[in-house]
Amino acid sequence: MTRRGFWIAQGLWWGFYVVVFQLALLPELPDAWLAHLGLKIAKASAGCTASLALYAIYVRAMPRLRLPGLAAVIVVACIVLGMAWELVSRMIYRLPVIDDQLARSVPLSTFVLLAWSAMYTSLVYRDRADAEAARALKAIALATEAQLAMLRYQVNPHFLFNALNSIRALIDENPGRAREMVTQLSELFRYSLRTTQRSDLSVADEMSAIRNYLDIQRIRFDDALDAAVEADAAAAGTALPGFLIHPLVENAVKYGLETSDKPLRVRVRARRDGDRLDVEVANTGRWLDGGNGSGTGTGLRNLRERLRHLYPDRHALDIASAGGWVRVHLVVEVAP
């Protein structure tokens, strides 16, 4: 509980105490209610002082004691301070400090302090529960962010290895194409770095990276790859986390080359319909048993995991193989 919140609660509690007890005595003291109000405020001030003493005790006891021990401290402290408060109140009202009514008056003062203690401890534990929940949510968010980062940062080492080998072979055979391939590779990895530093990426950015990737593969495989990438204007401007479509294109090239007649044809299409982004990645060939051929299936598995975190219950990923084509259909609900 903040200091400001504590004093607001104090003011409300003791103000309520004065009003309730003052109203209860109005029928008995119709002509002296103003003088009695002053006495009641003085008694409430003494009670407020007792509650501050309880506060000092609880601040020290709460971090050290479990709930049963804390409850015992609360009861004992309220009884002792309730008695002290009642004795001070008798002085304020100019009544005998000790008489036959003392045993009946002390429980009421004790009950008021117990009620105050219950209010205070409930607010403290509520604040602790809220803080714990906030820490748990933050921990979950950080864990999710780390997991997504791990999934996003995974670079296909075979692609990089093969691209570098192709560049090395082209340096002597065709320096111009080697330079072109280096440019495409650098642009692709520039985009990879952007996905770790920025959140304002779009479908257009993803499609540009996919074109760079396919250009590199075209240089590697020459006439063995025929690829086309298109996105309508509405889809191109849609915000999208980086490398969400790219793994589907990697799979289309990698496994299409294993199962398709030459040339391998790859088609990437993105459309926007209201709050739905519709993406299709198609390649000639067939869907291999298990869906991952000679590979490990890591790319597709990582993509499903990212979709589960980024678009929970707001995405669909379907794969179909028919007529000599494998079609992967991805739909995500995006901001309007």
Identify the band that residue 149 occupies on the pLDDT scale cut at 50, 70 and 90: low
| Mean pLDDT taken over the chain | 83
| Beta sheet of 264-273, edge-to-edge order | 225-231, 264-273, 276-284, 325-333, 315-322
Q: Which of 112-126, 236-250, 257-271, 279-293 has the lowest mean pLDDT?
A: 279-293
Identify the band that residue 58 occupies on the pLDDT scale cut at 50, 70 and 90: very high
pLDDT at 312 (0 to 100):
87
pLDDT at 153 (0 to 100):
47
pLDDT at 230 (0 to 100):
94
Distance CA 328, CA 309 (A): 20
pLDDT at 113 (0 to 100):
93
Distance CA 186, CA 197 (A): 17
Mean pLDDT of 136-160: 60
CB within 8 Å of 99: residues ≥ 6 apart:
none
Distance CA 238, CA 235 (A): 5
**Contact (Cβ atoms closer than 8 angstroms) between residue 268 and residue 207:** yes
**Contact (Cβ atoms closer than 8 angstroms) between residue 299 and residue 250:** yes
Report the amino acid identity of residue 193.
Answer: L
Identify the band that residue 332 occupies on the pLDDT scale cut at 50, 70 and 90: very high
Question: Considering the domain 154-333 in this protein, what is its CATH number?
Answer: 3.30.565.10
Residues belonging to the chain: 336
Distance CA 205, CA 200 (A): 10
- Where are the chain's structural domains? 3-148, 154-333
List pLDDT tens digits, range 202-248: 899 889 989 988 888 888 887 789 999 999 999 999 998 887 898 89
pLDDT at 334 (0 to 100):
87
Q: What distances in angstroms separate CA 210 from CA 86, 95, 217, 238, 296, one per listed residue?
A: 81, 90, 11, 16, 22
Q: Which one has a higher pLDDT value, 76 or 218?
A: 76
Q: What distances in angstroms separate CA 230 from CA 135, 233, 234, 243, 244, one per listed residue?
A: 44, 10, 12, 16, 16
Q: What is residue 261's DSSP assignment?
A: P
Mean pLDDT of 126-151: 71
pLDDT at 26 over 50: yes
The first and second tokens of residue 299, run together, are 């790319």
Identify the band that residue 304 occupies on the pLDDT scale cut at 50, 70 and 90: confident
pLDDT at 39 over 90: no
